[in-house]
Structure 1
Amino acid sequence: MGKKDDYNKYVDQVSPKPTYVKNYILAFIVGGIICMIGQGINDFFMKVIGLDKLAASSATSITLIFIGSFLTGLGVYDLIGKRAGAGSIIPITGFANSIVSPAMEFKREGYVLGVGANMFKIAGPVLVYGIGSSILFGFIYYIVKIFI
């Protein structure tokens, strides 16, 4: 077992050490910037365009999804994601990125078998379980409301 222990020590010495604090700070800053942009877009829709709160929130989500998809198509969002990590994945722009990235990767195979078949490869399980659980909890809520 001496060789195995020596190998493990060697691997520990040559492996790059993750910079957790730097990663946390970058994720916090980039995620905060994305949220600030979203708040600015929301304020624009409410104060300049004159939408009510609900309509402005929907328009903001749509706009952020478009921006995330557009930046993914240009290859910019992946560069942001390499530095920001979870700061770029958690906001709704990260969801747009998770749908567009596989679609861009398989576009050479055609629109139906390439883009259409692979678009929801990453986000598909999230959508299925999100929609399924919302239906289940909605049904439970409905049953509880009837009997209580």
Structure 2
Amino acid sequence: MTNGVIPAGALSVVNFHPTWGDKETNKASMLRYIDEAHAAGVRMIVFPEMALTGYVSSSDPESAAYRMAVSQAETISSPITRELADKAAATGMWVIFGTSERIPGDAEHAYNSAFAASPDGKVISYQKIAPVEGS
């Protein structure tokens, strides 16, 4: 990036259909997309909202969707997040992806978050105002 401008061809936005509730399969797809983008000279790749888990929104704590989002929630230092961050560092790319995020001390809820892994492997997250559960 020069002067805060991303050159043409250096940004990739990925639209794929994640396998709902299967983080390992989704992570494997994301790692392949990152490799392809890196080979094409991409410097920043952006995956969809909830790309790691598959999209979910529910206000019913008894629903499968709600339980999946909470049970599969990640942190900025969890193993899958670290694997994606290590790939960002290995390729020198920014990798931005959506996932549900654990709320410290709260096993009943999760944030709908965007994680950003920098080219040096550091990860930050942005939590949406509304949690995963919708209302």
Q: Structure 2-normalised TM-score?
A: 0.29
Structure possessing the higher relative contact order (Cα contacts under 8 Å, 6 or more residues apart) = 2
The structure whose residues are more often strand, as a share, is 2
Q: Structure 1-normalised TM-score?
A: 0.28
Larger radius of gyration: 1
The structure whose residues are more often helix, as a share, is 1
